[in-house]
Chains A and B, each alone.
Chain A
Amino acid sequence: MHRESDQVGIKIGMWLFLYSEIILFGGLFVLYAAYFFEHPQSFVAGGKELNRIIGALNTIVLLVSSFTVAASITAIRRDDAKRAQRLLLFSLLCGVVFLVNKYFEWGAKIDHGIYPNSETLVNGEPGLNIFFGLYYVITGLHGLHVIIGMALLAVSLFFIRSGRVSGSRYAMLDNAGLYWHLVDLIWIFVFPLFYLVL
């Protein structure tokens, strides 16, 4: 039927899915807001322990990748499949850089004995335990979404190569792009909440 060609309908479906993702993280932000209110000093102290340069770097990496994904949609719609593929490859690379950064960041924290249920956190300030608990849960869940987003982008890249995504049929890439931007969106909030709290 006309269903496959209804780009608007497919996009509505994707947005509805994104809403559910927003609310999923929203539940965690509820916790963050309430706990920030209860332990403001500890949250500031916790934020000071995170490296805001690495955080800012990761923000920039994600923003740039978001741009390249958006540009690849423009490219595919102008029937420039080559450029679209290059842009997507670059976005995937950005995703990898982000995850590697994250890996070293988590690793450093774990080396300092800061991880869920660690001696330092259990016996330390309760507010710090909550701050780092939320830090691991939220960035962990976000990292998982980065991986899913990269998988979607990789599939789109593969589809462009095989010709299943083209200038007239780009819903797959469009939706993968929307998902990737959502990952970016959430990070834009996570960054000030964890790295810049004062």
Chain B
Amino acid sequence: MEHETVHPPMSYKALAAVLVALLLLTVVTVAVSYVDLGFFNVPVALGVACLKVTLVLLFFMHLKYEGPIIVFSFIGTVTFLIIMIGFTFWDVAFR
């Protein structure tokens, strides 16, 4: 039901690879910010941010190796956050 095994520590190499990916994404998002993409400005910036956050969560915070309780409850939290923001727009967007 609930996992008991403790995953082995991540290697320095894997962590460094994640860091490189994160830094690359940062460069990309800053570079893209100098180009005006019109409507896509916000989605692209937020998309890159989500990608970076996913990397940090999965590898630095070991979410990839956690048991179902943490994984599901994390998804639940994010869902609640989306509802908080999304449902407010029922009001804000239609006023």
Q: Do chains A and B touch in the complex (CB under 8 A)?
A: yes
- Cβ contact within 8 Å between A181 and B30: no
Residue of A7, A181, A198 ringed by the most chain B CB atoms within 10 A: A198
In the complex the two chains form, is B93's CB within 8 Å of A37's CB? Answer: yes
In the complex, residue of chain A having the shortest beta-carbon distance to the beta carbon of B86: A33
Interface residues on B, range: 35 or more
Interface pair A78/B9, CB less than 8 Å apart: yes
Quick check: B85 and A197 within 8 Å, CB to CB? no
Chain B interface helix/strand/loop/mixed: helix
- CB nearest neighbor in B for A78: B9
A114 at interface, CB cutoff 8 A:
no
Q: Mark A31-51, 1 if CB is under 8 A from B, else 0.
A: 001100110000000000000
Overall SS of chain A's interface = helix
Task: Give, as a whole number of angstroms, the nearest-CB distance from B51 to chain A.
Answer: 10
- Residues on B lying within 8 angstroms of A by beta carbon are 2-4, 6, 9-12, 15-16, 18-19, 22-23, 26, 29-30, 33, 36-37, 41-42, 45-46, 48-49, 52-53, 56-57, 59-61, 66-67, 69-70, 73-74, 77-78, 80-81, 84-85, 88-89, 92-93
